[in-house]
Amino acid sequence: MADTPSYGSSRETLDKMGEALKGARRLCVVTHDNPDPDSVSSAFALAYLSKNLFKVRATVKYGGIVGRPENRAMIRVLGLRMSELTEKDFSAGTAFALVDMQPGTGNNSFPAKRKPAIIIDHHPQRKTTRADLMHIRTDYGATATMLTELLLASELDIPTPLATALSYGISSETQDLGREAGERDIAAYLALFPKSNKKMLASIEHPKLPVDHFVTLNKALHHTVVYKNAVATCLGEIDNPDSVAFIADFMLRLERMSWCMCLGRYRDKIIVSIRTTNQQGRAGRFLRSLLGKRGTAGGHGMIAGGQVPCSMEHESCTRLEEELVKDFMRKLGYKEDAAMTPLLLVSEPDGGPR
Ligand SMILES: [Mn+2]
C-alpha cells in the first residue's frame, strides 16, 4: 500500500501561507469557472485553514455556473456556502487565493494581471504565474490531495462535510483513483475515508438527474463520429457547460477508444474537452497545439479543457466545429475525413471500422 507521505514540507507550506495572509482582513478563495468537485473541495479546505489556523475570515467564490448534477448535489448535501465572484469582492484588505487554476488560463474569472496571495494547483506552472505562496505541483492527481496534506499537517480536526467533500474531490478528479492518481492521492483518500459520511457520498455520486441530462445524452448519441480509436462529439448549443466534460468521459468508455473530443457551444464560446486513455498522452499540450491561436486550453496528461471564442452566426460556428473535429483526427494521424462513421451506424454491417 502507499507509503505514508511526510508532512514536513507541508508544515513549511503552512508557514508560508501564514506569511502570505499577514495583514489580510479577509481571504477570498476563488475556484475556476464552472467549478468541479476538485476545485470546490480544495477551496473549502483552504477557507477552513484560513479561518481556523490563521484566524482570517474566508469566503469561497466561483465563476460560471455549477451544472453537473453530482456537483450540485455535493454543494446541497454538504451545505457548502459559496457565491459568485463580483466586483465588490475586490475591496481593500482582501487577499485572494486561487485553487486548481492559475490566472490567465481562460478558464477563470480572476483578473489575469492581478497578483493573488496564494495559488495551490496541480496544473503545470505558467511562466507568468505570480503569488506570495505558490504551491504548484504536477505530481498530484488532484488539488484536493494537496489541501488534504496541508490539513493533516495542520493537525486541525477535519469536519465530516469537509472530509466528505475532499474525498469526493479526489475520487471524481481521478475517476476513483484510476486516472492520473499517485501514492499521495491514495494516501490522502485513505486518510479521509474514515472521516467521510458514506451515505452523503453515495447521494452525491448517484443524484437524481434532470430531464435536460437525458436530452443532452440523446443529442450526444446522434452527433458522435468514430474513426479507428478516436471518437468526437459536437453537442451544438448547450445550457450546461459541464455537459462537455461529462460527455467526453462518457464517450471515452466506448470500447476500443483511446482518444475523445467533445465540443459544446455555451454563450459566445465553444467549450472543448479532450480525454485519452494514453498515460503518455499529454492531453493539455495536445489540445493547446490543436487549438493554436483559435483559443486557450489547459490540462494534464489524460484530460484537457479549452475554449474557442465564437461570437459569429450559427453556420460559421458549425463550420469551426467541423474544422476542429477534422484537426483532432488529423493530429492523431488520420487523414481520410470521409472515413469517420456516425456512432449509431458503427454496429451496422457496412457502417465502419468493425
Ligand atoms: Mn483539478
The pLDDT tens digits for 57-112 are 999 999 999 999 999 999 999 999 999 999 999 999 999 999 999 998 889 999 99
3-state helix, strand, coil in the chain (%, to 5): 40, 20, 40
Q: How confident is the model at residue 3 (pLDDT cuts 50, 70, 90)?
A: very low
The alpha carbon of 99 and the centre of ligand 1 are apart by a number of angstroms equal to 9
List the domains of the chain with CATH numbers: 8-205 (3.90.1640.10), 212-345 (3.10.310.40)
Q: pTM surpassing 0.75?
A: yes
What are the start-end ranges of the H helices in the chain?
Answer: 8-21, 37-54, 69-77, 143-154, 160-173, 183-192, 198-205, 211-222, 243-251, 283-291, 314-331
The number of helices, as runs of H, and strands, as runs of E, in the chain is 11, 13
The bridge status of strand 341-342 relative to strand 296-299 is unpaired
Q: Which of 168, 157, 178, 133 is nearest to 38 (CA)?
A: 168
The alpha carbon of 21 and the centre of ligand 1 are apart by a number of angstroms equal to 23
The alpha carbon of 38 and the centre of ligand 1 are apart by a number of angstroms equal to 5
The alpha carbon of 140 and the centre of ligand 1 are apart by a number of angstroms equal to 9
The alpha carbon of 122 and the centre of ligand 1 are apart by a number of angstroms equal to 6
The alpha carbon of 249 and the centre of ligand 1 are apart by a number of angstroms equal to 15
Grid cell listed for 239:
445550457
The alpha carbon of 142 and the centre of ligand 1 are apart by a number of angstroms equal to 5
The alpha carbon of 179 and the centre of ligand 1 are apart by a number of angstroms equal to 12
Q: What is the mean pLDDT of residues 52-60?
A: 98
The alpha carbon of 272 and the centre of ligand 1 are apart by a number of angstroms equal to 16
The alpha carbon of 45 and the centre of ligand 1 are apart by a number of angstroms equal to 14
The pLDDT tens digits for 113-134 are 999 999 999 999 999 999 999 9
Task: Tell whether the torsion through CA atoms of 254, 256, 257 and 258 is positive or negative.
Answer: positive
For residues 319 and 353, is the Cβ–Cβ distance under 8 A? no
Q: How confident is the model at residue 348 (pLDDT cuts 50, 70, 90)?
A: low
pLDDT surpasses 70 at 243: yes
The alpha carbon of 172 and the centre of ligand 1 are apart by a number of angstroms equal to 10
The SS3 of residue 80 is: coil
The alpha carbon of 47 and the centre of ligand 1 are apart by a number of angstroms equal to 17
CA 79 – CA 305 distance, rounded (Å): 28
The alpha carbon of 339 and the centre of ligand 1 are apart by a number of angstroms equal to 35
The alpha carbon of 173 and the centre of ligand 1 are apart by a number of angstroms equal to 6
- End-to-end CA distance of the chain: give it in Å, rounded: 41
**Cα angle: 216, vertex 218, 221; to 5 degrees:** 110
The alpha carbon of 87 and the centre of ligand 1 are apart by a number of angstroms equal to 25
pLDDT surpasses 80 at 197: yes
Task: Count the residues in the chain.
Answer: 354
Q: How confident is the model at residue 300 (pLDDT cuts 50, 70, 90)?
A: confident
CA 282 – CA 285 distance, rounded (Å): 6
Residue type, 338: A
The alpha carbon of 344 and the centre of ligand 1 are apart by a number of angstroms equal to 33
pLDDT of residue 226: 95
CA 194 – CA 42 distance, rounded (Å): 19
